[in-house]
């Protein structure tokens, strides 16, 4: 950690500051510039609060040198983490496609979609039971009943299931869920993250609409620091000034997150762009950038979907996409 | 609601679409342009899902004309809502200043700050007991003990208290809290909003880092639709590309929200800018823009604050600010 | 165009407004809703100023239905435009890679890089002579001398050259330049765009840091409306809240721009991400999303580059990238 | 300047790097941490290119300690700069209001508006002759004729005039213009800035839609480094995800720019919000935040304005605003 001292600070004050810092158990190296004095702090600086240091009278700025996440950091875990879900492995050089409808709507619907996406090569089934909707007047999901229908679809097809949790109180209902999804709006619901850290179920953690790579990794760190190392990161588009698309897919997140962290990184192109016809090019782009998998919305009848129909592929469109995914994956290995 | 039909659609398909729409109980007015056919839907369109309509083969675009929020909408409640908190009124032409430390740290600290901000003219005491922190390794607040200390400060000074809830499970601990704060990161924690709608305690709802005015009002609508009309909106800075400040205060939110809604609107300049020396100009700017109040961080010793010390005023600085607030308020009435 | 009339407007005022609109030569279709009256304007609405209409006393909102760009619009030119540059074709199903250093620095440097990128498969040579730099104290390019050295490199290798113009006054120096680049900061330098519309040289138009797809297409329209139809669009990253990368590559721009327009779309991953090691994954992602080509910075000695060395590939790294480009292109045809 | 060396770098390589850096005439202080080695560079580091340093094999990161702008920097010019325009002083504790129409449309229009805004207390007249418009099909301004009409209005009222330049070639036409405006889209048109640095006319430099405070100050530096110290900074709204308003006024820019720089800072609330009814609250907020002045659009008949009518005040509305400005200014001195 680097502490930059204000220009006009008296040498005695610099000395006092250095001594104060030493009480935290760090060594302090002073570097006297022509304009600024800089203190280099050496040792375990984790007990020092960067914001608090900045408030000190004689401090101009403080810069941290090491990333504040440990468990999620590739520097300390150089090898890729691969997460076992049923008979599948997410991460570690594999490409896993998760597919299914935005919302579970009925037994027929979810089983039909599950069978079709399985036939096309999907390895996990997604489907929303608890639905976060901007409007209180919009369809809120089938909730417990939705979870029950997902279990039926799992039994019928053998596909492990991925579905979103919205509140800690729902956790006990998620025993049969293979991957628990934390939605973008809950990425910094820290109480929820801590609880999920106490389970051992894999967590699919979506990046928030306006959250940085580091914040996403810090949220993963919340889960991991509580004991659950099975975290899958998911880029799903960020909010920018561009309004033509629902969100803006930040494809750079894939190589950057994979450099910073050993965790698997998948992409949800459906929420990123919000328009079905653009999903295939973004799905392929994500894999070309190195993503470990995709999460794609597929609905047997998008025009009648209870939510997000506009961004759902039909089973036929999904099947075409999967053929391209296979060709691309073969080419870039 | 306006439905724009695709260019090449056959008249029979337009007719079929119109008939389908009529089954939802709306009238359909057809307007034939040289390039596009436009259907104007008249009647109660709340059952129509705009996203679903957009997925229909022959539909180019759908535009909603009315705002999707009802309870929070000034069109249906032209008069300002004023919310009673203890002996104070928030909204309705008053200016209310809420002040206190980021975190409750000890009995001495919170009582001392409470007494000082009261002496300077603050009407409510703020203080964090449950603290949302980006890092799991940072101070997470005194939690239950923090709430107990806030109650002591309330008893000692008579100031009503404002503090943040992070999860539904904490709600029963908030019985003595006068205003329950929903933080920016929880603005779209819909399960929490629904529960808060079942209490009658005033809710201070902070705008999310990347949420639009309409999304903020829809979150207020979640609370109000569940029965609690005591919602105070709070602008606290949005996330932009500018990194010199912690966030970017969107001062336009004040007049715009007050036009769209009858709810009181206050501003938190401390989180918006994140640097103590810039808080007074932003506080004054917010009031000049028409805000119903301010929420300001004050700490008896910012350099030792357990969080956000950098953005806390000292009691002396707060007192100076309050004198300027009084002068400004007198001038702009 | 759709005009939404304010709620309380008297029928006589609606009638007066309709008559006023008819004087612009459009038909007006009235649709009376339960809350709002909507006027559908049919005919050539290009003479109507949407912002001006919005200021009328009785108008609540105005919505345009057709895109305001004509020459660049795929609706009126369904086939891809392919632009001939020397013996190369940009667009129309080809993949063209443009490569070279950020700045031209010396005859040896530019010729060496040109020979190497040509050997690896690049079809055009890029190199900056006039350099837009944030700081007036930074290297501003070799200017005229830079153009002369680019011509030497062109003669030596046969590669057509691409270089940036910063001001109209420089245009006469660009006679031997094959593709004139307009940088992101000049995307809305409308006087420059108009002048470039009077040449017939291909123009590579970069998207501005915070410009929408539609604004980019309107800037292309400036060039095309002045008579020059040879416009190549270039996505090079937008500015968002994320600071880990230099900019945020908006890969969705590729399929969206190609849907809205018939013009070729290329991607500059070097400026988008700003860090050499992340350029290959972004380059591949751009092609997988359907880009017609790439523009990549290559420097024989990045650590000594006069600008942007951090985001330059070495010739060896570029050669590796080109092999992957070839494999990917073969797989996705 | 601080250079952070990569973890695994051999001591010999660190020594070699230090020696290389010393050849630039700076002293190098080595600080050996438990994980990282940090080099503190002392002396004149202006010849070192931060981006180039970052590309070196063994360098993890480089952090600059001093701001890269000198002429615009308050550290080197502690007193406020006040700029004389006719008999007026902009900056240095005064509040100056500039008003007038978006575009000059006719002799009658500009003279009538000039007389009215003067009567209400405006000190300078604004009016666009060369108009940057997103669409090539929109009204582009009266150009030379517009400048002539502005001169007539100046003669008739004595008000100095402010108008925008779009290209260097227009500069000779601006001899009678008192303040030359550089629009947001040209904030980084560096060739234009350099030329304007060779005049001695005051320059009103608008912040670009997505430019940081530092970039704005670097653009001011371009003008000042070329010899013209008469630069007025103007905040006019930035582009964010919020679409309800035209742009988002960044009111924090006022106190921050005034801290970083000695130059006057004014605010244009008209372009920031784009809707007439919200201009007065934003104008007052800007002054409460410490702005040295305002630039406000006023049109005698907004509904018929050739551009931006939606965001123009009528002379009556402007007069009301000026009364509030006077009251506020008196209260906050």
State how far the Cα of C145 lies from the Cα of C131, in Å rounded to an integer.
Answer: 13
pLDDT digits (tens, 9 = 90+) for D252-275: 999 999 999 999 999 999 999 999
| Region label for D57, one of left (φ > 0), alpha (ψ between -120 and 50) or beta (otherwise) | alpha
User: Where are the extended beta strands (E) located within chain D?
Assistant: 2-5, 27-32, 37-42, 59-63, 83-85, 88-90, 96-100, 124-126, 161-165, 179-182, 203-206, 231-235, 265-267, 293-297
Separation in Å, CA C35 to CA B29, B42, B289, C32, D52: 14, 8, 31, 8, 62
For the residues B33-50, what does the mean pLDDT come to?
74
Cβ pair A327:C330 closer than 8 A: no
Per CB-CB distance under 8 Å, the chain B contacts of A185 are 188-190
Give the pLDDT band (50/70/90) at residue C319. Answer: very high
Q: Which of D251, D290, D332 is nearest residue B249 as measured by Cβ atoms?
A: D251
* C-alpha separations of D1 from A2, C102, C165, D62 in Å: 11, 25, 33, 7
Taking CB atoms and an 8 Å cut-off, how many pairs form between chains A and C? 121
Report chain A residues whose CB lies below 8 A from the CB of C214. 244
The more confidently predicted of residues A193 and C66 is: A193
**C144 has a pLDDT exceeding 80:** yes
Vertex C66, ends B39 and D242: CA angle to 5°?
Answer: 95
CB contact at 8 A, C67 and D134: no
Query: What span, in angstroms and rounded, lies between the C-alpha atoms of A189 and A193?
Result: 6
Taking CA–CA distances from D309, the nearest residue in chain C reads C52
Mean pLDDT for back-to-back runs of 10 residues, chain A (333 residues): 82 84 80 75 74 78 80 92 96 96 96 98 97 88 97 98 97 97 97 97 97 97 95 98 95 98 98 94 98 96 71 95 96 78
A190 touches chain B (CB under 8 A): yes
Chain C CA closest to residue D305: C52
pLDDT surpassing 90 at residue D88:
yes
Are A18 and A42 within 8 A, CB to CB?
Answer: no
Q: Residue D27: count other Cβ atoms within 10 Å of its Cβ.
A: 15
The verdict on a CB contact (< 8 Å) between A303 and B56 is yes
DSSP annotation string for D195-237: HHTTS-S-EEEEPPTT--HHHHHHHHHHHHHTT---EEEEE--
- Considering only CB atoms, D55 lies closest to which of C54, C188, C310, namely C310
Shortest CA gap D74–chain B (Å): 16
Q: Are B291 and B254 in contact (CB under 8 A)?
A: yes
β-pair partners for C267: C235, C294
In this prediction, residue C276 carries a pLDDT of 92
- pLDDT at position B63 is 79
How many pairs of residues across B and C have Cβ atoms under 8 Å apart?
Answer: 61
Instruction: Tell me how far CA of residue D131 lies from CA of B103, C169, D72, D126, in angstroms.
Output: 52, 20, 28, 13
Give the nearest partner residue to C239 out of B29, B42, B241, using CB atoms: B241
- B49, B215, B305 ranked by CB distance to A52: nearest: B305
CA angle A76, A78, A82 (to 5 degrees): 110
Put simply, whether D50 touches C (Cβ < 8 Å) is: no
Q: Which of B4, B35, B37, B42 to mutate to test the interface with C (most CBs of C within 10 A)?
A: B42
Question: Chain B to chain D, count of Cβ pairs less than 8 Å apart?
Answer: 121
Partner residue facing D35 (CB), from A34, A63, A66: A66
* D223 has a pLDDT exceeding 90: yes
Which chain D residues are within 8 Å of A63, Cβ to Cβ?
A: 2, 63
Judged by CB atoms closer than 8 Å, whether chains meet at A191 and B167 is answered as yes
Lowest-pLDDT choice from A186-190, B42-46, C278-282: B42-46
Work out the average pLDDT over D201-209.
Answer: 98
Q: In whole angstroms, what is the distance from residue D277 CA to residue B104 CA? A: 41
Residues of A in contact with D243 (CB under 8 A): 243
In chain D, the residue whose alpha carbon lies closest to the alpha carbon of C51 is: D310
List the 276-315 stretch of B: residues with Cβ below 8 A of C: none
Using CA coordinates, name the residue in chain C closest to A246. C252
The pLDDT value recorded for residue D137 is 85
Q: Which residues of C touch A244 (CB under 8 A)?
A: 212-214, 256
Look at residue A307 in the predicted model and tell me its pLDDT. 65
The total of other beta-carbon atoms located within 10 Å of residue A307's CB is 23
Mean pLDDT of D240-245: 94
SS3 sequence of chain A = CEEEECCCCCHHHHHHHHHHHHCCCCEEEEEECCCCEEEEEECCCCCCCHHHHHCCCCEEEEECCCCCCCCCECCCCCCCCCEEECCEEECCCCCEEEEECCECCCHHHHHHHHHHHHHHCCCEEECECCCCCCCCCCCCCCCHHHHHHHHHHHHHHCCCEEEEECCHHHHHHHCCCCEEEECHHHCCCHHHHHHHCCCCCCEEEECCCCCCHHHHHHHHHHHHHCCCCCEEEEECCECCCCCCCCCECECCHHHHHHHHECCCEEECHHHHHCCHHHHHHHHHHHHHCCCCEEEEEECCCHHHCCCCHHHCECHHHHHHHHHHHHHHHHHHC
Q: Chain D within 8 Å of A46 (Cβ-Cβ)? A: no
| B46: contact with A, CB 8 A cutoff | yes
Residue B133 backbone phi and psi in degrees, to 5 = -125, 140
pLDDT in the model for residue D34:
64
Nearest to A328 among C241, C244, C288 (CB): C288
Shortest distance, CA D215 to any CA of chain B (angstroms): 10
d(CA A126, nearest CA chain C) in Å = 24
The answer, for B46 touching chain C at a CB cutoff of 8 Å, is no
More confident residue, C212 or B304: C212
Residue A304 pLDDT: 67
Q: What is the mean pLDDT of residues D196-223?
A: 97
Model confidence at D64, pLDDT cuts 50, 70, 90, reads confident
- The answer to whether the Cβ–Cβ distance between D238 and B242 falls below 8 Å is yes
- The span from the CA of D117 to the CA of D123, in Å, is 8
Average pLDDT over residues D12-25: 83
Using a CB-CB cut-off of 8 Å, the residues of chain D touching B249 are: 250-252
Average pLDDT taken over every residue of chain A: 92
Q: Does A244 touch chain D (CB under 8 A)?
A: no
Indicate yes or no: CB of D2 within 8 angstroms of CB of A38: yes
Which residue in A243, A248, A332 is closest to C328 by CB distance? Answer: A332
Name the residue in chain B with its Cα closest to that of A311.
B55
Q: What is the pLDDT of residue D39?
A: 84
Give the pLDDT mean for B308-329. Answer: 92
Placement of tokens 């896993």 in the chain:
A96
Q: pLDDT, tens digit, for every residue of C95-105? A: 999 999 999 99
**By the CB < 8 Å criterion, does A330 face chain C?**
yes
Q: Answer yes or no: do D255 and B281 touch at CB < 8 A.
A: yes
* Cβ-based contacts of D238 with chain B (< 8 Å): 240-242, 248
> Which DSSP letter does residue C252 get?
T
Neighboring chains of C (3 or more beta-carbon pairs < 8 A) = A, B, D
Does residue C77 sit at the A interface (CB-CB below 8 Å)?
no
| D-chain residues near A240 (CB < 8 A) | 241
Cβ(D299)–Cβ(D113) under 8 Å? yes
Shortest distance between the Cα of D94 and any Cα of chain A, in A, equals: 30
Nearest one of A310, A312, A307 to A133, comparing CA atoms: A307
pLDDT confidence of residue C13: 83
DSSP B208: P
Q: Over the stretch B111-132, which tens digit does the pLDDT of each residue have?
A: 999 999 999 999 999 999 999 9
CB B230 within 8 A of CB B200: yes
Q: Residues B229-259: pLDDT tens digits?
A: 999 999 999 999 999 999 999 999 999 999 9
Side-chain-side CA neighbours of D260 within 13 Å: the count stands at: 25
User: Would you call B252 and D245 a contact, using CB atoms and an 8 Å cutoff?
Assistant: yes
pLDDT at A323: 97
> Looking at the complex, does the CB of residue D330 fall below 8 Å from at least one CB of chain B?
yes
Q: Model ipTM?
A: 0.89
pLDDT of residue A63: 79
Q: Which residues of B touch C210 (CB under 8 A)?
A: 241
Cβ–Cβ contact D56 with C under 8 A: yes
Please, how many CA atoms are within 13 Å of residue D315, restricted to the half-sphere of its CB? 15
| Closest-CA residue to A198 (of A157, A227, A176, A220) | A227
Question: What confidence tier does C46 reach under pLDDT thresholds 50, 70, 90?
Answer: low
Task: Answer whether D331 touches C (CB < 8 Å).
Answer: no
- Any chain A CB within 8 A of the CB of C64? no
Report how far residue A253's alpha carbon sits from residue A234's, in angstroms, rounded to the nearest whole number: 9
What is the C-alpha R_g of chain B?
23
pLDDT of C308 > 70? The answer is no
Chain C interface, best mutation among B4, B31, B34, by max C CB count within 10 A: B31
Q: Which of D280, D277, D287 is nearest to D311 (CA)?
A: D277
């Amino acid at each position: 950690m680097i502490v930059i001292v204000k220009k006009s600070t008296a040498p005695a004050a610099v000395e006092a500051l250095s001594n104060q810092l030493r009480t935290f158990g760090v060594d302090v190296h002073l570097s006297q510039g022509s304009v600024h004095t800089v203190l280099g702090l050496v040792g375990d600086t984790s007990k020092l609060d960067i914001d608090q240091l900045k408030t000190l009278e004689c401090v101009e700025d403080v810069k941290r040198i090491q990333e504040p996440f440990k468990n999620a950091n590739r520097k300390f875990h150089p090898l890729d983490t691969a997460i076992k879900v049923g008979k599948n492995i997410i991460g570690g050089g594999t490409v896993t496609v998760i597919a299914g409808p935005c919302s579970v709507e009925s037994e027929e619907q979810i089983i039909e979609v599950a069978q079709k996406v399985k036939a096309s090569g999907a390895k996990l089934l997604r489907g929303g039971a608890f639905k976060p909707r901007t409007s209180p007047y919009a369809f809120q999901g089938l909730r417990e009943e939705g979870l029950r229908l997902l279990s039926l679809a799992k039994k019928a097809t053998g596909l492990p299931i991925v579905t979103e949790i919205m509140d800690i109180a729902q956790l006990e209902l998620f025993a049969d869920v293979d991957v628990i999804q934390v939605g973008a709006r809950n990425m910094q619901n820290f109480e929820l993250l801590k609880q999920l850290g106490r389970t051992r179920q894999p967590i699919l953690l979506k990046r928030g609409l306006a959250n940085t790579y580091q914040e996403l990794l810090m949220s993963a760190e919340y889960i991991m620091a509580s004991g659950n190392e099975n975290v899958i990161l998911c880029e799903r588009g960020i909010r920018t000034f561009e309004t033509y698309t629902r969100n803006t897919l930040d494809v750079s997140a894939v190589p950057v997150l994979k450099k910073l962290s050993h965790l698997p990184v998948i992409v949800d192109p459906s929420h990123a762009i919000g328009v079905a016809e653009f999903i295939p090019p973004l799905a392929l782009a994500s894999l070309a950038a190195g993503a470990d998998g995709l999460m794609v919305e597929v609905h047997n009848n998008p025009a009648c979907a209870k939510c997000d129909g506009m961004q759902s592929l039909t089973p036929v469109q999904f099947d075409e996409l999967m053929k391209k995914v296979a060709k691309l994956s073969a080419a870039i290995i």
